[in-house]
């Protein structure tokens, strides 16, 4: 007997597709649906298991929850995803990233089971060839994928998007970011000094950077919605880290944007590197500034344009060799070089606390392109 269930494609939220699955699902079958190799080890002592996991090369240095069969089954029981469903292949290993592997790593990271759809959506974005995870995982750069969450799920999962959203605001769901990092290590195969040549790395490589947009205070449409995905969604973006921009002086929208744009422009930023022909530039604006900016500059396209204009460097400010390489790539326009090829590649989001005074720049990696995916419930869970 085969059963037919409704499953919605993760890449195209609608319409639902009819997909034939196998005879029995995890809830109605005595088959062993978990196919991963078993390892006998200490399971009651977290630190003993963590030491074991580090010896196996599974860990990140922080304590890990032993992924016993019971814990993994309990995690999966809150979803009716099939454990052997292949979500994607992640480079460089290009091995199958199954729901089972996701669950095992999420359990180890301490991620709540309710975060599974979010983790899956993020992985689907990371696996898109336009995200360039292949280069991102190997590079000497400190890049780490940032996961931005939109939609009501931010509140359901307690994803930080106000004060301390980039770090410091406690939330159990932050462990979903760590789960994504463990999956990049254990399934994609990113291993420092083996498949990854990062020179310095970055703090974000441990727990990931997972946060939400403060949609309720943003004067702009939710970031994912601007990219064609309404409701619950994640956007993944490869960032070199967070760059703080302090401004205690500006009073108007144009002033805040000038200060922000000029602060983003320095020769060693990704967007000015001759090593890649184009780049994106994400900027997080706090809700206080966002309100003022929107008051003075109603259209987001104009906001992007102003940041872009100011996020530029006079070509003669660059070293000779640097300038010559950029000139050869036709990236010097009227004597200036810009952090992105076009204003549309300046990605503006709204989040952070009501203390204002700061913006955050997220310089991108290479020509890695942001990917947005809907966060969808599992089959039969809609």
Q: Which is nearer to other proteins, 313 or 326 (CB)?
A: 326
Q: Which residue has the tokens 């029995």?
A: 24
Smallest CA-to-CA distance from 372 within 250, 260, 236 is with 236
Q: For binding to other proteins (CB under 8 A), which residues are involved?
A: 34, 36-45, 48-49, 57-58, 66-69, 72, 91-98, 100-101, 104-105, 108, 129-132, 134-141, 182, 186-187, 189, 193-198, 274-278, 325, 329, 366-369
Q: Which is nearer to other proteins, 286 or 371 (CB)?
A: 371
Q: Structure tokens of 77?
A: 């029981």
Looking at beta carbons only, is 190 or 360 nearer to other proteins? 190
**134 or 266, CB closer to other proteins?**
134
Please state the separation of Cα 151 from the chain's center in Å: 15
DSSP run (H or E) holding 371:
strand 371-374
As measured in angstroms, the least distance from the Cβ of 351 to other proteins is: 26
The CA distance from 172 to 285, in Å, is 25
Choice between 67 and 379, CB closer to other proteins: 67
Gap between the Cα atoms of 268 and 180, Å rounded: 28
Q: Whole-number minimum distance, CB 321 to other proteins, in Å?
A: 9
Cα–Cα distance, 284 to 217 (Å, whole number): 13
Strands 371-374 and 233-239: antiparallel
Nearest distance from C-beta of residue 8 to other proteins, angstroms:
25
Alpha-carbon distance of 37 to 270, in angstroms, equals 41
**Minimum CB–partner distance for residue 229 and other proteins (Å):** 18
Are 37 and 72 within 8 A, CB to CB? no
Cross-strand bridge partners of residue 146: 209, 237
Q: Where are the beta strands (DSSP E) in 79-160?
A: 86-90, 95-98, 144-150
Beta carbon of residue 333, minimum distance to other proteins (angstroms, whole number): 18
Q: How far is the CB of 93 from other proteins (least distance, A)?
A: 5
Whichever of 281 and 293 has its CB closer to other proteins, that residue is 281
């Amino acid at each position: 007997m085969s059963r037919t269930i409704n499953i919605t494609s993760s890449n195209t939220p609608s319409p639902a597709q009819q997909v034939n699955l196998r005879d029995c699902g995890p809830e109605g079958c005595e088959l062993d649906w978990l196919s991963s190799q078993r390892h006998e080890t200490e399971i009651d002592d977290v630190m003993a298991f963590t030491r074991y996991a580090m010896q196996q090369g599974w860990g990140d240095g922080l304590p890990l929850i032993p992924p016993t069969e019971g814990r993994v089954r309990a995690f999966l029981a809150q979803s009716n995803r099939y454990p052997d469903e292949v979500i994607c292949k992640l480079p460089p290993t290009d091995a199958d990233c199954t729901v089972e592997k996701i669950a095992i790593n999420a359990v180890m990271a301490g991620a709540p089971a309710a975060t599974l759809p979010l983790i899956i959506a993020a992985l689907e974005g990371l696996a898109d060839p336009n995200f360039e995870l292949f280069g991102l995982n190997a590079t000497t750069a400190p890049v780490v994928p940032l996961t931005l969450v939109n939609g009501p799920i931010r509140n359901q999962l307690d994803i930080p998007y106000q004060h301390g959203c980039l770090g410091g605001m406690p939330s159990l769901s932050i462990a979903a970011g760590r789960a994504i990092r463990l999956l990049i290590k254990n399934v994609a195969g990113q291993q420092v000094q083996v498949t990854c040549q990062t020179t310095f790395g970055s703090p974000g490589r441990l727990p990931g950077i997972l946060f939400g947009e403060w949609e309720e205070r943003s004067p702009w449409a939710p970031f994912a919605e601007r990219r064609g995905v309404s409701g619950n969604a994640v956007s993944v973006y490869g960032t070199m880290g967070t760059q703080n921009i302090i401004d205690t002086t500006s009073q108007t929208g144009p002033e805040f944007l000038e200060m922000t744009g000029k602060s983003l422009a320095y020769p060693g930023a990704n967007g000015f590197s001759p090593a890649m022909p184009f780049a994106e530039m994400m900027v997080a604006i706090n809700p206080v500034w966002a309100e003022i900016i929107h008051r003075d500059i109603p259209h987001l396209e104009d906001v992007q344009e102003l940041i872009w204009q100011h996020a530029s460097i006079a070509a003669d400010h660059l070293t000779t060799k640097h300038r010559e390489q950029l000139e050869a790539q036709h990236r010097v326009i009227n004597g200036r070089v810009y952090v992105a090829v076009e204003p549309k590649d300046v990605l503006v989001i709204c989040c952070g606390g009501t203390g204002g005074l700061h913006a955050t720049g997220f310089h991108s990696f290479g020509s890695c392109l942001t990917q947005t995916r809907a966060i969808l419930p599992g089959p039969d869970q809609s």
